[in-house]
Structure 1
Amino acid sequence: MERFFPSTVPLLILSCLCVSRVLADSLAAPVNVTIKALKANSAVVTWDIPEGDPVIGFAITQQKKDVRMLRFIQEVNTTTRSCALWDLEEETDYIVHVQSISVSGPMSPHSEPKRFRTPKEAETQASKSKDEVTMEEVGAQLRAGEFIIIVVVLIMWAGVIALFCRQYDIIKDNEPNNNKDKAKTSSECSTPEHPTGGLLRSKFPKNNNNRTASVNIIEV
C-alpha cells in the first residue's frame, strides 16, 4: 500500500490546480451569442458550442449596464443552447456573458459580451397587436379559400344533376317509339280470325251435297 508523505501533499494540490487550469484553458468559450424574443420584461439568449468540446452545462452572467449587481444562472447535465432571462426592466441596457461547463467541472472563458436594450411595454403591446391582425388576415384568407372550394363543389354537383336529368328525358322520349314499334310488329303477325297470329283452316273440303261434319284445326 502506498503512503504519501506530508511533503507530497502540496505537490498534489498544485498538480490538480494545474490540470484544472489546463482543462479550463482548453475549453473554448461559446460563440454566436444572440438575443431573441426580446420583450419589455424578458428575453432569450442563445449560443453555439465549438464542435468537440466536452460540455455538460452552461453558466449565464447577466448584468445591468453601469450597475455592479450580477445575476448568475448555472445549469448542468443539459445540452440546451438557450436560456430565458426574466424580471428585466423596460428601457434598460443589459450585458450578458456565457460560459461552458466541462465534464471535470472547470468553466470556459467568458464569451464575447452581448449588449441589448429592452423595449417599452407599449411597444411590445403594439407589436403583439400587429401580429394578431396578421393572424386575423390569414384566417380571413383561409375562410375565403374554403368558400371558393364549396362553391366549385356545388357547381360540379349541379352539372352532374343536369346531365342526369337530360339523359333521363332522352330515355323517356324514346320509350313511346319503342312501344309503337312493338305494337306494329304484333299487329302484322296477327289475323282477324286469331289475334295471336294463328290461321283457321278446314281440314276437309266443303261439299254442299254431302253434309258431313268438318273438323277445324288451328295451327299456330
Structure 2
Amino acid sequence: MTVRVFLVDDHPLFREGVRAALEASPGLDVVGEASSGDEALRVLLPERPDGPEKPDRHHPVDVVLMDSRLPDRSGAEVTRALVAAGSARWPPPRILVLSMSEDDEDVITALRSGARGYVVKSAPRDELLRAVLTVAAGGAAFSPPIAARLGEYFAAMRREPGRSAFPGLTERELEVLDLIARGYSNRRIARELTLSEKTVRNHVSHVFAKLHVSDRTAAAVRARAAGLGT
C-alpha cells in the first residue's frame, strides 16, 4: 500500500528536497504541502473540507512531516489540534516531527502533543524514509542521538521523582517542593538548603504559582502524589 505523506514546513527549498527524496522511494507519495500551521489545519482538519489541497477523503493522509517551529504556530500546537480532531470516522494522521532542534524540551513537547517520532533535519535520506515507514505502520521513530537522549532523560526521571510531574519547576524549586512535602517550614528549608528565608519565600511563591495552588497543604498533596517528600 502507498503511504500518503503531507509536508508542513515554511522553507520551500527544504520541502522540495524532502518531497524529491520521498517520491523517489517506492510506496511513498507526497499528497500535499503547507508552509504554516494555519494552512496545514485548513487543509487537513475534517471540519474544513474546502481546503484547496485537501486530499481525497477516501485516501486520507497517513503521515504528516511536521516542522517543530512554524511562523504562526508551533508544530506541537498543530499536532495537538490534529490529534484532538480525530474520531472513528476520521483517524488523525500520524505525526513525525522533522526539526533542526535537538533540545530535550522540544522533543518532550512534541511527544506530549501526540507526535509519533522525531527526526533531525540533518538526518540521512535513508533514516528519514525508514522513520516515515515506521510511523506509518504504527511505530515510533527517532534519530539515534534523540533516542539516546530520551533514554537518558527517562532514566533521570526514575532517579528524580517528581521531575516528570513538574517539568516547569527549576531544580531549586523542585528541592523546595520536596521539603514542603516533608512538612518543613521556610526556616528549616533555608537551613537545609543554605539559603536566606527571603529567598526561600520567593521560591515557595514561584512553586505555588506554577502548581496553581494557594497554600502549602495543596502543594504538599501534589508533591506526595508525584513521589516527593519521602
TM-score, with structure 2 as normaliser: 0.22
TM-score, with structure 1 as normaliser: 0.22
Higher helix share: 2
Q: Larger RCO: Structure 1 or Structure 2 (Cα < 8 Å, ≥ 6 residues apart)?
A: 1
Higher strand share: 1
Larger radius of gyration: 1
